[in-house]
Amino acid sequence: MAETVQAPALYGLMAEFADATELVRAAKAAHAEGYRHMDAYSAAPIHGLAEALGHDDRRVQKFTFTGGFFGFCAGFGLCYWASVIEYPLNIGGRPLNSWVAFSIPTYELTILFGGLATTFGMLALCGFPQPYHPVFNVEAFRKTASSTGFFLCLEATDPRFDVARTRAFLEGLHPKAINEVNP
């Protein structure tokens, strides 16, 4: 009995644009059209692109605040424990719990924990490390994404995605090229 080999499912359609302005315009149009499973790629950050894609995720800020709060508690707690509980030194009648003297180590640990929480939270939310992604299968993306390319990929997992209709929509945005992204 012969097996039939089925072609891999399509990951999505990727359009390449000439500049950042066109990419942002295309992302806004795709979001207005109802596409929600999409991503944009460029060599440098583009102001307003995340909003154009409909991203309003602010979870990294919560990681930063939580890390900073725990850093503050750890810094102050460490100073308090060392100066008041474990090794109290009464010098000149000053209070053992001198928050002014504790401010520098507390500040430093607040910044350290906040920075570490931000870094690891961002990596976790972005799904890194990710050594492979289907967009790497597009030759134009491999050649120009890290230098001069501006790409918008509409993913096939989107409920509005239909190959013919999505291709027609992307052609209406006048990109330089449209490529199929295979998994």
Question: Which residue ranges make up each domain of the chain?
Answer: 12-54+136-181, 59-126
What is the reported pLDDT for 76? 97
Query: How many CA atoms lie within 13 Å of 52's alpha carbon, on the beta-carbon side?
Result: 19
Query: Per-residue pLDDT tens for 2-35?
Result: 556 555 589 999 999 999 999 999 999 999 999 9
pLDDT surpasses 80 at 46: yes
Q: Are 41 and 155 in contact (CB under 8 A)?
A: no
Query: Per-residue pLDDT tens for 144-166?
Result: 999 999 999 999 999 999 999 99
Angle in degrees, 0-180, between the axes of helices 99-126 and 59-80, rounded to the nearest 10: 150
Query: Per-residue pLDDT tens for 87-140?
Result: 998 888 888 888 898 999 999 999 999 999 999 999 999 888 888 999 999 999
Both tokens of 75, joined, read 């810094």
pTM of the complete model: 0.75
